[in-house]
Amino acid sequence: MPAAKRSALPIYVAAGLLFAALAARGFALPLRVSELGGDKIQVGLLFSVVTITAAGLSLPAGFVSDRFGKRRLLVFAIIVGGASQFGLGLATTVAPMYFWQALAGVGGAASQAALMAALIDVVPESRLGRAMGWLTLAFQVGFLVGPAAAGVALELVNLQAVITASTGLFAVALLLTLIGVPSSPGVEIGWNIAAPLRQITRQRAFAAASIGMLGATLLWGTLQAYLPLFAKEQLRLPPSQIGYLIAIQAVANGLARIPGGRLVDRLTRRGPLVVLGLAVYSASVAVLPHLTGFWTTTMLLVASVPLLATTYLALSVIFSNLSTAETRGAAMGLYGTMLFLGLGVGSATFGTLMEHSGYVAGFTACAATGLAAAAGVALVRWAPFVGSPPARPEAAALTRT
């Protein structure tokens, strides 16, 4: 195993543990809200609280990681995330869940920026796509293990116990971070956040990548927020099969990450890949509410998710290439801002539509918005633009014709 990969291994494992805990919560929370008498609007708002909080704090978190070091920020993120998970598990009504979800947003913003910036520090630039592939594979392993374990656990204990017990994964991730994640010194960049922000956002690739990120996360976030309820209410699947459905999707997502990362490393023009990924996944979201049964739905998700996964890898490399060594945290903070903003807007907006008009209307509107984002990326990519040159030559990859 190469030295860079050995150095990155603790980052991958810690990421997998964190995402396993978050995925268990994402699977159990909608069912727990329904158990407590909440409706789809409340489910959407609860997901939006965490994502919008994270969106607002991602850029400051990235700046803090540059200023004080990535490991310090990651330790903070894990402690806050664990506290929010434990509090959510203890909640016996829906109302206090909003506070714990907001706290989870704080931890999510910090962990997203710290994990990705720390990884960029320890891998060669030429292998960044593959490294992001391994990192996001760790995410998907977490998405696989979390819901599957939660689904099995529900045969023995209740939803509240599942959420509470998953806090232990944060404790293991904290120990691993303290032992294995490299400690990086902060960069003396002062307190002017506007300078790195201008350096990144004035580049042409930033506009196209931001539209792509918003579209991709809106599609993904809406589907993942309502997939458990859709499977329960329309597909009429038992809880264990809902967990398996989410887990199988995660396997397909994870298996696409390494070949997808290799493809991204080899591409010099990543714009068409982003446009294609958004368009194909939008079509699958539109088709989803017209399906019935476990296997038909599973086959659609398995067929469509790999291209969106590769699209995410391309976008993460683009955001990385917008930065310099001194602004990596800020660039990945902006990446997190777009990611969490899309997740929050999608679940809140289309949840209201699903509650009043049904799953067909909600998923169709979501798919139409995703197609509009694909068109927006294409327009920005080929439109005339006046701005700063990229921080590194590779940042132009999304906007080359």
Out of 123-127, 205-209, 354-358, pick the least confident: 123-127
Across 205-210, average pLDDT: 84
Question: Which of 252, 245, 243, 239 lies closest to 294 in space, CA to CA?
Answer: 245
% of the chain surpassing 70 pLDDT = 89
Out of 32-41, 113-122, 322-331, 346-355, pick the least confident: 322-331
The CA distance from 400 to 382, in Å, is 8
Beta strands in 17-119 (DSSP E): none
pLDDT of residue 83: 93
Across 375-391, average pLDDT: 64
List 203's β-bridge partners, or say none: 388
Highest mean pLDDT: which range of 35-39, 42-46, 90-94, 196-200: 90-94
Out of 47-61, 148-162, 322-336, 346-360, pick the least confident: 322-336
Task: Report which residue type is found at 301.
Answer: L
pLDDT of residue 127: 79
Using an 8 Å Cβ cutoff, are 87 and 167 in contact? no
Question: Which of 41, 153, 131, 149 lies closest to 316 in space, CA to CA?
Answer: 131
Give yes or no for residue 390 having a pLDDT over 70.
no
pLDDT of residue 80: 93
pLDDT of residue 284: 94
Across 56-77, average pLDDT: 82
How far, in Å, are 68, 72, 194, 322, 385 from residue 191 at the CA level? 11, 18, 9, 20, 30
pLDDT of residue 4: 42
Q: Where are the domains of the chain?
A: 3-399
Assigned token pair, 247: 């887990």
Give yes or no for residue 57 having a pLDDT over 90.
no
Give yes or no for residue 285 having a pLDDT over 90.
yes
88 conformational bin, left if phi > 0, alpha if psi -120 to 50, beta if neither: alpha
pLDDT of residue 193: 64
Give yes or no for residue 241 having a pLDDT over 70.
yes
User: What proportions of the chain, in percent to the nearest 5, are helix, strand and coil?
Assistant: 85, 0, 15
- Phi and psi at 388, nearest 5°, equal -75, 150
Task: Report which residue type is found at 188.
Answer: E
How far, in Å, are 205, 273, 275 from residue 211 at the CA level? 10, 14, 10
Tell me the fold of 3-399: Growth Hormone; Chain: A; (1.20.1250)
Across 62-89, average pLDDT: 86
